[in-house]
Amino acid sequence: MNYVTSSYQDRRAGFTLFELVVTMAISTVILLTLAALLTQTTEGYVLSQRSINHLSQARAFVQLFQSDLSKRLPGTSLIHRSPRSGDSQVSDQIAFVRTIANDEQNPDVPGDLVTVCYYVAFVEESNQRVIPKLFRKILNPRETQQLMEAGDEAGFPEVDPSLDESVIDSVLGFRTTPMDDNAKSGSYESSIQSAAVSPSYIELVLRTVDESLSLRLTNQADWIRLASAPKESELHFIREVSQKLSIGK
């Protein structure tokens, strides 16, 4: 009689097959839920980190541009071009003369003045994607002297994205609007203006695109469409940095 009771109690202490299956199913649901939460958290962190890195790069560019502008030679004006209707150019181009320190001078091309040029160009990557990049070109003292001697006949210097310095990728818009003392927008063609009409400051606006959206854009038409008519779902991937930079006269 005691053996029968012990055997019955042993069976009651274990799990039935049904109970085991239910337990495994519940455990699976819990693990899948935790995995989904972890994935969402990780993706959110990655997107947030990308946004921070992209804004850091944009701010680093603004500091570079401001540093160049602070060394601009007083009495010289800006060569500034803005895109016109029907123009494939989607961003401004700007160039100005600045001084260089003694330790930056090149003995092969003597002189203490250079011309700094900023512009945006579409570049084809190795994977055949087309990306707009912001470039920085430096004209040496000899080229700068020739540009200044050309006066009003001088246009925006010739550029070559394959040779010039790439500053920042995925540039949706680059605006460098010259402003006068009355905060009215200046109108400057692609020539060196007289010192009398030199603007007081530059209103700089840089718009860039997050990498997660940039990877979806494969050609120039995609970028132009995004710049002119972004979809509501694309807006939170666009970053903008603006700065008002004074110009010494």
| DSSP notation for 58-127 | HHHHHHHHHHHHHTBPTT---EEE---TT-S--S-EEEEEEE--GGG-BTTB--SEEEEEEEEEEEE-TT
Mean pLDDT of the chain: 79
CB–CB of 95/116 below 8 Å?
Answer: yes
Give the contacts of 93 (CB within 8 A, at least 6 positions apart): 79, 80, 81, 117, 118, 119, 120, 156, 190
pLDDT reported for residue 193: 44
- pLDDT tens track for 179-210: 876 544 444 433 344 433 467 889 999 999 98
Query: pTM above the 0.75 mark?
Result: no
Per-residue confidence band for 154, with pLDDT thresholds at 50, 70 and 90: confident
Helix runs in 161-219, H state only? 211-214
Q: Who has greater pLDDT, 98 or 108? A: 98
40: buried, middle or exposed (CB in 10 Å: 19+, 13-18, 0-12)?
exposed
Q: Is the pLDDT of residue 12 over 60?
A: no
pLDDT reported for residue 185: 46
Distance CA(156)–CA(105), nearest Å, equals: 23
Distance CA(221)–CA(208), nearest Å, equals: 16
Q: Is the pLDDT of residue 40 over 70?
A: no
Q: Is the pLDDT of residue 94 over 90?
A: yes
Q: What's the whole-number mean pLDDT along residues 215-220?
A: 89
Grouping H, G, I as helix, E, B as strand and the rest as coil, residue 209 is: strand
pLDDT reported for residue 162: 92
pLDDT reported for residue 95: 93
Edge-first strand listing for the sheet containing 79-81: 79-81, 93-99, 113-124, 130-139, 165-168
Q: What's the whole-number mean pLDDT along residues 69-95?
A: 80
Amino acid type, 151? G
Distance CA(54)–CA(67), nearest Å, equals: 20
Q: For the chain, give every domain's residue range.
A: 44-246
- pLDDT tens track for 42-74: 655 555 666 666 677 888 899 999 999 999 988
pLDDT reported for residue 48: 62
| Percent with pLDDT over 70 in the chain | 76
Per-residue confidence band for 172, with pLDDT thresholds at 50, 70 and 90: very high
Give the contacts of 58 (CB within 8 A, at least 6 positions apart): 168, 206, 208, 239, 241
